[in-house]
Amino acid sequence: MPEAAPRQKRFLFVDDDPDFLAVLREMFGRLAKGRWEIATADNHAAALAQIERSRPDVVVLDVNMPVMDGLQFLRLLRRTHPALQVVMLTSRGDEQTRQACLDSGAVMFLQKVIAPKGFQAVFAALDTMAESGPPSGFRGLMRQVGLPEVLQMECLGRKSSVLEVFANRSRGRIFIQDGSIVHAEFASLEGEAALYGLLALRGGEFNLHAFTPPERVSIQGHYEFLLMEAARLRDEGAQFDGAEPPAEAASAPAPAPLEALPAEPPRIEEVLLCSGSGEVLHYHGGESADPALSLLSQVEQQALQLSGLAPLGRFDRFEVVLKSGRIVCLVQPHLRLVARSTRTSPGA
């Protein structure tokens, strides 16, 4: 009985230079002789989509990329996809960058090559590394990438996981099921109050675990609104240092923005989520995101003008409440958001 052919090793190469990606695909495809499955992406959003679709064994990242550089993307992947083996590839590798990449979880740091012998050496290194299994477990430290970014990527990827958070004497957990935040617990709090308390922490440590169902579902809102509300509360100074929140916080209901919340949750009609630099990460609700992008641009310009006229600090939130629903725009350093909802309860 003939032996079954070995499974192809899946590689994803991420680089903002499409010509270099084409060369990589041709050279490594020739050297692999059918043993590699090669995918490419020229930006981090496309890379995340490829990771969700093909589950590569190894991701090879260019260090110098626009919007989100390779080191930032590496830190994000270590938290959102801890089982991935990530290799950094650069044409200008100094010792400081190499050490930063290795400290952030890269398994290898390689120089870009041009000559055929160089490609053969890089191919041999990657091929050997892919034979080994992924590292087991992971531990993240809240530094450049914080809890809101991790939650965004887990929800955008429609993942199911448990985000465990440690801060001083307290421990909390956030349960994500199929891209929705369904429960949170922190000290003596549960539900949205616990979620907002965790997202307001100034620092701590966290782990991502496989999903286990919570004892009950305490959160039913859309994650975009939950993160937006957490950002608003954080900006207003509702932060914890890791100690248990005061007793009155456990019994106080979550604050209702501008008016009492309707008995039934609003229906989300349109959502636009962008990175801090304006790159579209997620859009839902229409044929084109252009009107929402234009609205974001107008809000940002008006916010800058208002900040200059009034000594009240930075304006970053714009909200319109109508009888039929609500439009919210959020412009912050780490994200841009437009959300439009309609009410499902006519009497609310």
pLDDT at 236: 64
- Give me the percent of the chain exceeding a pLDDT of 70: 78
Compute the average pLDDT of residues 247-253.
42
Q: pLDDT digit string (tens) for 19-63?
A: 889 998 999 998 988 889 999 999 888 898 888 888 888 999 998
Amino acid at site 140: G
Q: Secondary structure of 180-227 in the HEC alphabet? A: EEEEEEECCEECHHHHHHHHCCCCCEEEEEECCCCCCCCCCCCHHHHH
Which of 109 and 311 is assigned the larger pLDDT? 109
- Give me the percent of the chain exceeding a pLDDT of 90: 11
> Under a CB-based contact definition with an 8 Å cutoff, are residues 19 and 42 in contact?
no
> Under a CB-based contact definition with an 8 Å cutoff, are residues 161 and 154 in contact?
yes
- Tell me the C-alpha distance between 171 and 240, whole Å: 12
Q: pLDDT digit string (tens) for 121-175?
A: 888 888 877 765 554 433 443 344 567 877 887 887 788 888 888 776 678 999 9
pLDDT at 145: 55
Predicted confidence (pLDDT) at residue 215 exceeds the cutoff of 80: yes
Compute the average pLDDT of residues 292-315.
73
- Tell me the C-alpha distance between 191 and 220, whole Å: 9
Kind of pairing between the strands at 9-14 and 36-41: parallel
Compute the average pLDDT of residues 325-330.
82
Query: What sections of the chain are H helices per DSSP?
Result: 18-32, 44-54, 70-80, 95-103, 116-131, 147-156, 192-199, 223-235, 247-251, 290-309
Helix then strand then coil, in percent of the chain rounded to 5, is 35, 25, 40
310 — pLDDT class (breaks 50, 70, 90): low
